[in-house]
Structure 1
Amino acid sequence: MERNSSLRLPMLGVLLCFAISNALPSDVNCLRSIKDSLQDPRQILSTWNFSDNTPGFVCSFIGVGCWHDQENNVLEVSLRDGGLRGSFPTGISYCTSIQNLDLSGNDISGPIPINLAYVLPYIVSLDLSNNNLSGPIPSIISSLYFLILLKLDDNHITGQIPPQLSLDRIKVLSVANNSLSGPIPSSIAKCRFLTVLRLDNNQLTGQIPLELSQLDRIVEFSVANNRLSGPVPTFSFSNLTATSYAKNRGLCGGPLSRCKNKDDEDLFLSGFSIGLSVSTTLSMLFMSFYWPTQSISKMRSYLFIIKKLKGVKYHLIPTKIPNQQILFIAENVTEESKITTMEKYVCRMSLAELEMATNDFDYKKVIGFGNMGLMYKATFLNGLTLAVKRLHKFETFEKKFLLEIEILGRLRHANLVPLLGFCYEMEKKFLVYKYMSNGTLHQWLHSRPQVEGRKMGWTLRLRIAVGIARGLAWLHHNNVLRVAHLKMSSNCVLLDDKFEPKISNFGDSNILMNTSGTPSSASNYVVPHSNLDPYKEDVYRFGILLLELVSEEKGQQGFSNEIYEALRIAENCIQTHNDGETSMLQVYQAIRAIGNARNDDFVATYVELF
């Protein structure tokens, strides 16, 4: 069958189409604002030439990293040791997807913005060290929910360390070599993932909170050269020396001299009881390993205890245990490695904080449901609202969970729902997304108009169709992972506050290729529901979705030609079942051409959304 001429596109047209659609004006404006607001005596920003409009042109800028080299979607800005001068560039807020910012080793002066959490809401790594920043650390910094690294050392920062500074995910916190005063807040003990804590060379006073001993992952700790006094906390399995506490005349204990007022007998009894408790637990545990009739359910409990006992590694578990128990140990090691892999893509969150944000998963918080599980609206203590998907248990439960993380964690696009985190605890699995205030497209097409008295006009429907087509085309043809969705429907399309469509529900997807040209680790899972090529399955399903969008608009005055063209495109998509020649790239340009033919500002307005 001959293809419809409206879908016969030369490759040049496809490339030009993506050149326009992949430009993200907000990110371009972000970088332009940074360049304009900073003095650049060394001309390191001279490569930032904004006259180019090709896809991904900003990705070649010095110090700029992108989510994908064919899109102007900024992931990181690193201008370390550039000799840049000026105040903190608040225009960075236009880089809406930025996760890493490094302005260290420059001459950035003035205060840290008090609205930093609004400027960089999704920042993961923030390095402003070795500058000339002054003023206090703003307390709102505690709302940087996804922050893992914060370095403010070697500045002129004054005031106290905010007591609210209890960042759940922070691993590196360094505010050394400033002029901070007052006590060390005990709330830092809540930063349970901390590995580096540097508070040295300030004017801190009072005692070091003994609660800091709960930080069992610390490998680097320093409070040297302050005005601290009292006993020092004892960190488990660390090699801290006296240099970590140097030049604090009032400190004692640990690697320092003994504290004079300690009751040795109480210390001995306390240590003896703790040692006896651990020894008894280990003895009972190891005896149970050798006991031939030990049940696997108890083994699970005991292995959980082993994981909790600090310093006990898997290789220390006795080897003379039944085979099924050895397999269980190997299973846990594998799960840990999977979690480590997932943390490369998105933030890991705790079950406790998700329970608190959803009122213990109150049914009143449910905002959607699907084959994979229930979706909850979650409101966190810092006011951030996110969406949490609680996955059901089923045969392919884990595979769907890992697929969703691999796809949405590695791919970032304006028309894919942003995956921000995951939780994997006690055999329960959760996925955390950016909250989409307008729900699903299916709701708007079939129920919400009756409830809210609002109806989607044709212009909005057309824009939504273009956005969905663009997202699917990018999934099929990007060079990071080639993904077929396989379950495309109006239930899988979420709408943000501007009714921008976001494709979701990747649990049944097929990852066909990775960057090296070899099959992905997840690509073994192929959904056996269709004999179609997976790409063609998406084209077919998009055709059905387009019919759903058009169905109520056939007689709308003034748009009959556009609606007719949309119906022709939908027909070509559905014909994929027979001839299989239509690609999502062709579909995308064809439906985009409907909007391009308008005389109004459809194109300009739509491009701004990307």
Structure 2
Amino acid sequence: MLLQKLHFSAFLVVLIFCLRVFSLNPDGLSLLSLKSAVDAASAAAFFSDWNEDDATPCRWTGITCTNVSGSDDPRVVGISLAGRNLRAYIPSELGSLIHLRRLNLHGNNFNGAIPDQLFNASSLHSIFLYGNNLSGSLPPSLCSIPRLRILDFSNNSLSGQLPKLLQNCRQLRRLILARNKFSGQIPLGIFPELANLEQLDISENEFNGSIPNDMGELKSLSGTLNLSYNHFGGKIPKGLGDLPLTVSFDLRGNDLSGQIPQTGSFSSQGPTAFLDNPSLCGFPLQRSCKNSSSDSVEYGLVENDGVGGRKGLRPGMIVLISVADAVGVAVVGLVVIYVCWKRKDSRGCSCTGKGKLGGNEHARCCAFPCIVFGGFPSNDSEVESEKGGGSGGGGDSGRMSGGVGDFVAIDKGFTFELDELLRASAYVLGKSGLGIVYKVVLGNGVPVAVRRLGEGGEQRYKEFVAEVQAIGRLKHPNVVKLRAYYWAPDEKLLISDFIPNGSLASALRGKAGQQSSSLSWSIRLEIAKGAARGLAYLHECSQRKFVHADVKSSNILLDNDYQPYVSDFGLNRLITITGNKPTSSGGFIGGTFPYLKAPQSEKVNTYRAPEARIPGAQPTQKWDVYSIGVVLIELLTGKSPEISPTSSTSTDILDLVRWVRKGFEEESPLSDLVDPSLLQEVEAKKEVLGVFHVALACTEGDPDARPQMKTVSENLEKI
């Protein structure tokens, strides 16, 4: 009897223990396998609240639950344990989480193979495993999941061939396998089936053979097709030209050979797309295809039957070139003489003694008839304030003085005398290391913006004139127009259009002491498109390929109809010539937004690309692409990228780009990212997402992965 009682007591203990353990629902039991797969030190630190006594795991760190149809209890739909340096393997039991939608384990030290049973979790649509130490090949059941949209397995040690079974992942939108050890040839037939694929990155692997011609059938692809740093060989397939024109190629670091095709989307690629392929030739590389017959015709080359078989010019071609040179020199000479003569007459220069100019001016005009003289400033001319006399602000006297110099109207339709400019009604808009800016209202009622650059640079006259003339030649409806300039040894002025409605920064967040204007989504989208058009013009369409190097919302000005104007291009170069040192306090040519006083603690300029923050780095156009991407994010979120690093509030965002990327990575609701004032415009959701995707492409960390500015503009125009 006593023995029976003992057995019964033991049975009760076991039963109570089992009931206690199995009070946790099935999802929780599956998750405990992940806790047990992690090494003890990490488990103690990060899984302290994963308690088997809980009824559900929905309050555990990194776990997201929701109520799903057909179930009374909340079920696990998300696992996010990213960046915790967990040392573990991925347990196959996670495959039993049939409602799991998002698995995010990136930035840890998970090792071993990806279990094939994981893909029994049939609701999965996003898997982020990048930045671990996973090995082995892609699991055979990978594409058995019907709604799989995102696979990011980059930065691991995965190997093997790219399996043809990937063609079954027909809902896939992002496939990122970069920086692994995949090898072999890529089979035909995969890509025509991936009609929804928007991003493909298989860079830095060991793939070889030819690039599949049917890769050109990825009609939904956007951003960058990244095949760089593999061992692809042979010719570039012409089929890639069938990809959308907005797609940028990255084929660097392969063994490709032959001539680069010139059809379709190849026409929009820059030379960086094809670098480090020694046997590639043709446009846009500056490496001609020597065996091409078209080259011989173009340059008039013929085979020389003399010793060595050298190529040379035909005798007839030599005579023709000589005659053309002589005629060209004569024509140019006549044009120069005629222009100088007309300029001299228009200025009243008379070397016979009578003319509109006198004294030294007359003598210099006759001696140098092609030097422009249009008037001279009066010394210490008073600039009256539009706000009721005095200096106009900041304790500055408001005086613009200068000696004898050159006043040049770059725009032929912009005619007035310098004395008229100096005596006009004006007030100081602001000042900084980039100079003082005045708003000046001319006698005809037309306002202009006048920037005073400083007093140095008298030894660099030709350099200054060449730079300002190049800027003055730019004409685009979304670029601030420079109308005239004045140069003297002790004074430098730039006169440009006055843009009346301030900057985009003030429109989004308001000027000091004023409320911001509420910009609708349609206005914001048009501002984004216009600014991109203007910047693309500076990059691609101007005679000289400009780099702005300081794109930000305070340098995008708005008129009364909210049309945007890119400003401040070339200004840093002019400041360098005049000897002043630019500061980061902002300001622009042609705007109303005041210069900011130097803050107590300078803000971090997060508009700058990562590579632009390295001391001594030379500006590139990809700097501008990154910056316009930040401006787009600013338009979308309404948040300022320039945050003081000394701020103690927890709500500050030190890196707006990183914050948005994290939100997309974790598939946060759009309402968590977008400006709250836009939430009522529900019909614009697809447009907002489209601009977000363009912005994220612009703000890639690798400058070569960013699209060209022309591509950015074209992508925005399609939204």
TM-score for both structures, normalised by structure 1: 0.39
Structure 1 or 2, whichever has the larger Rg, is 2
Larger RCO of the pair (alpha carbons < 8 Å, separation 6+): 1
